[in-house]
Amino acid sequence: MFGLSRPRSLFAASAFGLTLALGALSPAQAQEELRELLNSSYDIARELFAAVNPKFIDWWQAQHDETVSVKQSHGGSSTQARSIMQGMRADVVTFNQVTDVNVLADAGLVAKDWQDRYPNHASPYYSTIAFLVRKGNPKHIENWDDLAGDDVSLVFPNPKTSGNGRYTYLAAWGYADKTFDGDESKIEDFMKTFLGNVEVFDTGGRGATTTFVERDIGDVLITFESEVNNIRNEYGKDDYEVVVPPVSILAEFPVAVVDEYAERNGNEDLAKGYLDYLYTEEAQRLLAGFNYRVNDEKVAEEFRDQFPQTELLRVEDVFGSWPEAMKTHFASGGELDQLQRR
Amino acid sequence: MIAQALTRRRERRVLPGFGLSLGISLTFVSLVLLLPLTSLVGQLSQLSWSQYWFLITDPRLLASYTVTLLAAAVAALSNAVFGLLMAWVLVRYEFPGKRLVDALMDLPFALPTAVAGITLATLYSSNGWIGRLLEPLGISVSYTWVGIALAMAFTSIPFVVRTVQPVLEDLPAEVDEAAMTLGASDGLAFRRVILPYLWPALVTGTGLAFVRSLGEFGAVIFIAGGKPYETEITSLMIFVKLQEYDYAGASAVASIVLATSLALLLAINLWQGRFIKRLHGGRG
Amino acid sequence: MIRIGDAPRVRRLLIGVALALTVLFLLLPLVAIFAQALMSGIDVYWQNLSNAYTLSAIGLTLLVAVITVPVNLVFGVFLAWLVTRFEFPGRRLLQTLIDIPFAVSPVVAGLVYLLLYGRNGWLGGWLDAHDIQIMFAWPGIVLVTLFVTCPFVARELIPLMQAQGSREEEAAVTLGASGWTIFRRVTLPNIRHALLYGVILTNARAVGEFGAVSVVAGAIRGETNTLPLQVEQLYQDYNTVGAFTSASLLALLALLTLAAKAALEWRAARRETAT
């Protein structure tokens, strides 16, 4: 039940003289203990892992003849990383930001070479940033420069608090960098207009979706291609149209075992198995079904029509590296703060 | 004097439980209140004064102070008017459904702020029940500072009503009579005679509503647009700093909010104390 | 007798405006919660309600209330007894300290606990080494809830006990009664209503706290989600109906709170007129 699966929390509470209240609860322990894996993930992956986990449990059962359970925690990628650093005992992380795993690696919770431990930089699937526009595309949005027009209002989450907000910012910058051939002042002018067109900055991806769909605010919602398609399926294909721009950014979804905690939870094999499973054909097909792009050749071929050809810029190519991009653009007083300054 | 002090000391020992209640209270206050707050001090002590100053005077943060203070002021003032009206109507008049209206006044304290937040955001969005009516008039509430003020006002409704109500109840009927027989109009009599009586309670209630609004997060976050320099509140800035793993920065901003609120609370308490003294004619 | 504002026109106008504003700002939001929750019919409502995650959120929320309310009740009574029955240096300070949770933004409340008990916190290192988990588990949620709700009982009791004075209790002492007997027989009957009111407020806040809990809970579905967190998460999941279903439970609880409080006040008023 309520976190009693980890009996040490009992001690913690008794230290505060709450033993009495707890006595009544301990019988919950009596049932047979299943091994539990905790997957800490980003905000908009709830439906995805709700679908993946039961399949994984079957897969693990078939392979190891053991019934396990998987628990999910979802939040902004950075919030999740911070929680793990402060002691949330997640066994694996499935994030949407390389930097957030790097933060854990710097803290010694994840192996330094985590990107080499699984194929494709430890990213079992990827996506890009796309646009969702209202029916008939009344503002004729085709590419990034349309978003910096005069009469367009945009909705995307705050780049400071959200992974897809950050990718959106980087994608726009990448586009401008390419178009203006690296002319800093032109790029900055473009970015200023682009950011000035934002109507609402929600803290997370889902908040932005609610704003755009339920509150009817903004002409364009900018978020992951996968999310854009899921929203369209969720809210009606007739009301919205998806626009994938010809140039956008490669958004990798990195995964890693949180070695420190997996070891302490006695879940090392389970955690590794979980990430291995994400690369299996079955899981890749499931992922593609949720509109994520995958690397498995067979599955990628099956879903080819679903994903338009797009030039995907790599963060490393445009900005040097993730840490550099973070420092130059998103740190306090960085480029983003400068662009938003009045 | 000395004799008085001595008897008082003896009096103190009359009742049992001093040691026990002191022990329990101090333990609880230290463990639950003070110990966690020291961690805030600990974070702050890692900053030099100039770093601290730089952090708390960031232009975007300054803008968030303005937004928060203004919205809280508007919320508190609207509550002053609304609360005064409600207290008056509930004390002075009889009408069907009065008990229900009276009970409803406490709703904002009983309703979780997150629930209040999503409900207000739904009601006042351009396709919500109320927002739909306001949109043709060119008024938008959600994602503007009006929405922030609205959410703050909602969560602090009970403060003014519940501080003014008892004072108004205790007001002797002769006061009214005296004013009316002098031939003053309703408005004038209210302003000249009733309002001075209610003034302390009204200011206290409004002040408490203001303090509460400054720190409100749950209800506001759903309806604030989060646009830099326009609809960012200070609590959100703390939240953003946490996302950046910037504990020192978050603590610095938190310390500003905390200091402001505590200073205001203290001022309200002192002011109230002085008023009570005046009421008791120097007996206090 | 003539009273200010008694003219029918004034009276009708004021009552009308007051009712209109109450309906607009208080009743309508309340109705909206239930309307949204029942938007897709009662079957969907039940389905949402019996969802495993929602059930576990209800359980956790109850657990938090079951622990925090008694603890704060005991603390509040002792503190009120201390500051109203004894003179000692630092009494004023103690009374001001208890106001801190009112002045602290809930996010900050969560933050200070995270800084203390988190893995990098002062106590966190020791706790981690001993494999004791407080943050991101229910003890952390209980602790921050204790923090935000600790003033309510004491704040209700102190003004009342101050006004009543200690003469009755002193008389009981001279008759040779023990401390516990005095409290039970003399003090408790006098403060019963205020105490109950304090408990109701504590409970309402304990059940509904969002900001502070969201910082320390870690949002593990089915494990550390309280009802208000569940509301937020469902809301973010495009599941508006589900979110308002959980919200309607909390609103129902709020209504019960209001009813309990109204009943208490009504009884108190009746007793007053009777004596």
pLDDT digits (tens, 9 = 90+) for B244-274: 778 888 889 989 988 898 888 888 877 876 7
Q: Structurally, how many domains does chain B consist of?
A: 1
C-alpha distances out from residue A28 to A10, A12, B35, C55, Å: 12, 17, 32, 15
C-alpha distances out from residue A268 to A6, A210, A260, A275, C223, Å: 17, 38, 9, 11, 21
d(CA A97, CA A255): 10
Chain C residue nearest residue B189, CA to CA: C4
Averaged over A269-284, what is the pLDDT?
Answer: 96
Whether the predicted pLDDT of C133 surpasses 60: yes
Averaged over B215-224, what is the pLDDT?
Answer: 86
Question: Is the Cβ–Cβ distance between A170 and A321 less than 8 Å?
Answer: no
Whether the predicted pLDDT of A342 surpasses 90: no
State the residue range of the domain holding B175: 47-279
Asked if the Cβ–Cβ distance from A71 to C221 is below 8 Å, we say yes
Q: What does pTM read for this prediction?
A: 0.84
Residue A266, burial from CB neighbour count under 10 angstroms (0-12, 13-18, 19+): exposed
Q: Is residue B7 in some structural domain?
A: no
pLDDT digits (tens, 9 = 90+) for C39-66: 999 999 999 999 889 999 999 999 999 9
- What pLDDT does residue A24 have? 36
One-letter identity of residue A211 = T
- What pLDDT does residue A15 have? 38
pLDDT digits (tens, 9 = 90+) for A92-104: 999 998 989 999 9
Q: Is residue B2 in some structural domain?
A: no
Supply the CATH number for residue B94's domain: 1.10.3720.10
CA distance C32 to chain B (A): 7
Whether the predicted pLDDT of C1 surpasses 60: no
- What pLDDT does residue A312 have? 94
Enumerate the residues of chain C whose CB falls inside 8 A of the CB of residue B254: 105, 107-108, 111
Q: How confident is the model at residue B5 (pLDDT cuts 50, 70, 90)?
A: very low
Residue A208, burial from CB neighbour count under 10 angstroms (0-12, 13-18, 19+): buried
Chain C residue nearest residue B221, CA to CA: C211
Minimum mean pLDDT among A107-116, A272-281, B141-150: which range?
Answer: B141-150
Question: Is the Cβ–Cβ distance between A155 and A244 less than 8 Å?
Answer: no
The whole-chain average pLDDT of chain A stands at 86
- What pLDDT does residue C46 have? 93
d(CA C54, CA C45): 12
One-letter identity of residue C12 = R
Averaged over C152-172, what is the pLDDT?
Answer: 87
Q: Which residue among A160, A198, A331 places its CB closest to the CB of B227?
A: A198
Whether the predicted pLDDT of B7 surpasses 60: no
Asked if the Cβ–Cβ distance from B127 to A203 is below 8 Å, we say no
Question: Is the Cβ–Cβ distance between C131 and C232 less than 8 Å?
Answer: no
C positions 47-66 inside 8 Å of A (CB): 56, 59-60, 63, 66
- What pLDDT does residue B53 have? 92
Phi/psi for A224 (5° steps) reads -60, 145
Q: Is residue B224 in some structural domain?
A: yes
Q: Is residue B33 in some structural domain?
A: no
Q: Which residue among B15, B42, B111 places its CB closest to the CB of C122?
A: B42
Question: Is the Cβ–Cβ distance between B60 and B229 less than 8 Å?
Answer: yes
Whether the predicted pLDDT of C101 surpasses 50: yes
Whether the predicted pLDDT of A120 surpasses 90: yes
The whole-chain average pLDDT of chain B stands at 85
d(CA C242, CA C251): 14
Minimum mean pLDDT among A146-155, A284-293, C85-94: which range?
Answer: C85-94
Whether the predicted pLDDT of C2 surpasses 90: no
Whether the predicted pLDDT of A279 surpasses 90: yes
Q: Look-up: residue for tokens 């801190």?
A: C100
Asked if the Cβ–Cβ distance from A46 to C237 is below 8 Å, we say yes
Whether the predicted pLDDT of A25 surpasses 70: no
Whether the predicted pLDDT of A5 surpasses 50: no
For residue B257, what is the enclosing H or E element?
helix B247-279
**Spatial CA neighbour of B210 closest among B76, B64, B67:** B76
- What pLDDT does residue B91 have? 92
Q: Is residue B26 in some structural domain?
A: no
Identify the structural domains of chain A with CATH numbers, from first to last: 34-124+253-306 (3.40.190.10), 127-251+310-340 (3.40.190.10)
Q: Which of B6, B14, B25, B236 to mutate to test the interface with C (most CBs of C within 10 A)?
A: B25
Q: Which residue among A1, A9, A89 places its CB closest to the CB of C139?
A: A9
Q: Is residue B72 in some structural domain?
A: yes
In terms of DSSP bridges, do strands A293-294 and A125-134 run parallel, antiparallel, or are they unpaired? antiparallel
For residues B155 and B228, which has the higher predicted lDDT (pLDDT)? B155
Averaged over C265-273, what is the pLDDT?
Answer: 78
Q: What is the torsional sign of CA B31, B34, B38, B40?
A: positive
Q: How confident is the model at residue C238 (pLDDT cuts 50, 70, 90)?
A: confident
Asked if the Cβ–Cβ distance from A210 to C56 is below 8 Å, we say no
pLDDT-above-90 percentage for chain B: 36
Torsion angle in degrees (nearest 10) through CA of B6, B8, B11, B15: -130
Q: How confident is the model at residue A10 (pLDDT cuts 50, 70, 90)?
A: very low
d(CA B219, CA B224): 9
**Spatial CA neighbour of C31 closest among A170, A283, B141, B111:** B111
Q: Is residue B19 in some structural domain?
A: no
- What pLDDT does residue B217 have? 86
For residue C45, what is the enclosing H or E element?
helix C42-49
- What pLDDT does residue B276 have? 60
C-alpha distances out from residue C162 to B167, C78, C153, C157, Å: 18, 14, 14, 8
Asked if the Cβ–Cβ distance from C142 to A18 is below 8 Å, we say yes
Averaged over A116-141, what is the pLDDT?
Answer: 94
- What pLDDT does residue A7 have? 38
Whether the predicted pLDDT of C246 surpasses 90: yes
Asked if the Cβ–Cβ distance from B245 to A200 is below 8 Å, we say no
Whether the predicted pLDDT of C26 surpasses 50: yes
- What pLDDT does residue A153 have? 93
Enumerate the residues of chain B whose CB falls inside 8 A of the CB of residue A203: 221, 226, 236, 239-240
Question: Is the Cβ–Cβ distance between B183 and B244 less than 8 Å?
Answer: no
**Spatial CA neighbour of B145 closest among B90, B74, B87, B202:** B74
Note every long-range contact of C87-93, with CB atoms under 8 Å and residues 24 or more positions apart, other chains counting. C87/B8, C87/B12, C88/B12, C88/B18, C88/B22
Whether the predicted pLDDT of C251 surpasses 80: yes
d(CA C140, CA C161): 33
Please give the structure tokens belonging to residue B196: 């001075």
- What pLDDT does residue A28 have? 40
ipTM: 0.86
- What pLDDT does residue B229 have? 83
Whether the predicted pLDDT of C160 surpasses 60: yes
d(CA C191, CA C198): 10
Question: Is the Cβ–Cβ distance between B127 and A215 less than 8 Å?
Answer: yes
Q: Which residue among C113, C247, C254 places its CB closest to the CB of B36?
A: C113
Asked if the Cβ–Cβ distance from A332 to B236 is below 8 Å, we say no
CB distance from B36 to chain A under 8 Å? Answer: no
Q: Is residue B135 in some structural domain?
A: yes
- What pLDDT does residue C235 have? 84
Question: Is the Cβ–Cβ distance between C233 and C246 less than 8 Å?
Answer: no
